[in-house]
A and B are shown apart, each in its own frame.
Chain A
Amino acid sequence: MRRYVTNPMIIKELRQRLRERRSWLLPTLYLIVLSGIVVCVYYFSIDADRHLRGAEVQGADIGQAVFVAVVLTQIIVLLLMGPVFSSGAITIEREQRTLAGLLTSLLTAPQIWWGKFVAALLYLLLLLASAIPLLALPFAFGGVEPLDLVKALGSTILTLASICTVGLWCSATFRRSVHATASCYAIVLVLTIVTAIAFGMLYAHWQQGHPGTPGPPPHIQAPLFLNPLYPLLTLIDEGDFRFYVYPVSSWLLFTALGCLAAAFAMRRLQHSGEQL
C-alpha cells in the first residue's frame, strides 16, 4: 500500500504537468468563466425577482440560483477538461517512446496507472478547489446549506474520477493520443447527451400512460443514472422540481464504471509491450 502512496509516477506526472503553460492558463480561464457566470446569474436573478416580486429581492433566490449555476457550469467545464488530462496520459508515453523505460523498471502496471490517475485527478481537483470561494459566495445570500456544497463537490469528484479512469482506459487501448481523446469525448457525450435523450423518450412514452402522475419511477429514470449531471439535480429546490432524484444509484453506477475502466486499463497496460 505504501508503494502506491509514495509512487514516483505521481511526482513525475505532477512535475511535468505543472511545467506546461496550460497549467496556469487553464485555471485562469476556468475562474474567468465561472466568475462571468456568477455575475450574469446575479444580475439575471435580481432582474427576475424584481419582475416577479416588484421591488423586493429575495437573497435566498439569488444564492440558490448562483450556486446551481456555478455547480453545473463547473461540472460541464471539468467534463470537457477531464479527457484532455487523462486520455493522453499513457499514449504520450508511447508516442515519446518512454513507455518501454517504465515497463522495464520495477514499477508495476497498477503503479503506473495509479500515478497517471492521481495526477490527472489532482489537477482537476486543483481547478475544483480554486473555485471554492465562488461556490461559497451563495452562503452570503442564503438559500444554500453547507451540506449542499458537500453533496455537490462529492458528486462532482466521483464523476470526474470515473471520467479519468475512462480516459486512462482509452489511453491504454489506443496507440495515439488523438484517437484516445476522441474516444473519451465520445463516451462523455454518450453519458451526458444520449442518456438524456433516452430518458426523454422513455419519459414521454411513460407519461402518456400515467397522466398527472408527479414524477417518473426509478426504471424510467434509469438512463439518467449514468448522466454526470443527474445527481446534481437534487440541488434544485424540490418545490420547483417535480422529480424525486435517486443520486445513490448514480454514484454506485459511476463507481462501478470507474472500477471497470481501471481494471481494463491496467490489463491493457500490462500487455502494452506488444504495441511498442
Chain B
Amino acid sequence: MTLFSKPAYMLKNEIMAGNTSILDLVCSLYERIRKLEPTVNAFITLRSEEEVIREAEEKEKEIKKGKAKGLLYGVPIAIKDNISTKGIRTTCGSKILENYIPPYDASVVTFLKNEGAIILGKTNMDEFAMGSSTETSYFGPTRNPWDLERVPGGSSGGSAAALAAGLVPIALGSDTGGSVRCPAAFTATVGLKPTYGLVSRYGLIAYANSLEQIGPMARNVTDIALLLNVISKYDENDGTSIPGNRPDYVCSVMNPYDLKVPLKIGIVSEMFGEGVSEDVRKVVLRVLDKVSSEGVELDEISLPSLKYALPAYYIIAMSEASSNLARYDGVRYGFRANTDGDWNKIYMETRAEGFGLEAKRRIIMGTFTLSAGYFDQYYLRALKVRTLILNDFRRAFRRFHVLVSPTMPILPFKIGEKIKDPLAMYMCDIETVPANLAGIPAISIPAGFVNNLPVGLQLMSKPLSEDLLLKVGKIFEDKVGLKDLIAPL
C-alpha cells in the first residue's frame, strides 16, 4: 500500500511504532500535491513544505525520546477554510476575507494540535459555505478527482477532493445543509454531520448557526470515528456545546456486530421519490438488498413533513446568514472599499465589492424573510415547520435504529451546469437538509458508481447516537466493500 493511500488509523499506529517516518509521509503528500493541485485546486492555502518538514522532524525527535503522545500523532490533516487557524490565512472562500489571518485557533484545531495532528493547509469551499458545488469560491472551483469536468460537491468540496486525490488522509468540513455529506457522496469518501452541539463551533465562521456543525471527513468509517474522538469534546467557549463525556467512537466501530436486537432500518419514502434520479435510486436499493439478511430488518416509513424541508431550510439558513454576514463592514478585519464617504457609503461599497453573487442573493433573501411584515409569514412559519420535521423524526426513531436514503438526488454534475439557476442548485440539497433542521447525526458512505461517477448512501439516527450510527456505517462499509478509494488521477 502506498504511503499516501494509507488510512489515518493505520498511519498513527505505524508512526508511533517507528515503522513509518512522518518525514517520508509528509514528503510523499507534498509530491502528490505539487503534481495534482494545479488541476484539482483543493487548497486555498498550503503551509510551506519547509515549515511542515520542520514540524515533522520535531515530532520524530519526540517519538525517539519516547515522549510522543496523541491520538493523531504525526497524521496530516486538511481543514476547510471557514475554520479559524491561528496565523494561517482563513478566507471562507471569499474576497472579503482574502487576507484575514485569525488571531486564534478554533477549538477543534486546538484539540487536533493537542493530539499531534499536522495541519497541511486550508481547503477550498463555496463562499461562506453557501453552495453545493464549490463553484462560488472566490479562488476558483475545485474539480472532482473522479471526473475533472465535474464538481466535487460542496460546500466542503476542497476537503473531499483532497481526500479523493490522495493529498491527505483526513480532513475537516462543515455541514449546514449537507456541505460535508454532499461532497463525500460525490467523491466516494465518507463524511459525517454530528448531532447539533456535539462538536464545538467556536472558531467556525458562521453562516447559519442553528444548523451547522463541523464534521469529520475521511476515506473510511474507522478514520471518521478516530477524528470524531478528537474533535467532539464539550467546549465551554461554545454556548451550544452539549455538556458531558462522549463515548469512544473507535471502540464502537471496532465492534459493529454487537447489537443485541435485529437492526431495524427505515427506508424514508419521501427520500426515494420524485426528484431522485433512477441511476442513484438503483445503486442505493442494490446496497439495501445486500445488507438485508438475518438480523437486519428493512421497512418503509413516510415522513410527510419532509416535503417542506427544503423551503424551510432555505428560509432559516438565509435569515441567519443575513444576520451573520452583517459583521463584514471593513472596519475590524477583511476587505474595505477604497472610497470616501460616511459609514453607510463605505459599508455598502465594501460589501458590494467583497461578496460574490450567491452570498449577496442569500443576504437579500434572508433580509426579506426577517423584515417587518414578512417575518411571521416566512421565518416564524419555517420554524414551525421545523418542529413538524423534528416530530416526524422522533416518531421514526421510536420504530427504527437508523433511517436510510440516497445522500444526493443526482450524480455529480458538470462544472457550470447549475450555477446560473439558483433553484436548480438548491434542489441538490433535498436529501441532506432534513438532518440539519432536526439536529440529528447523518453520515454519507460510498454506495457504488454509475459510469465511474460516485453515488453515496446516507444513514441518519437519533440525536447523540453517533456510536450506533458509526456501527451501522461500518456494517454497510463491510457489505459494500468500497473504502479507502483514491481516484485514478
Partners in one complex: no
User: Taking beta carbons and an 8 Å cutoff, which residues of A are in contact with B?
Assistant: none
* B binding-site residues for A, Cβ under 8 Å: none
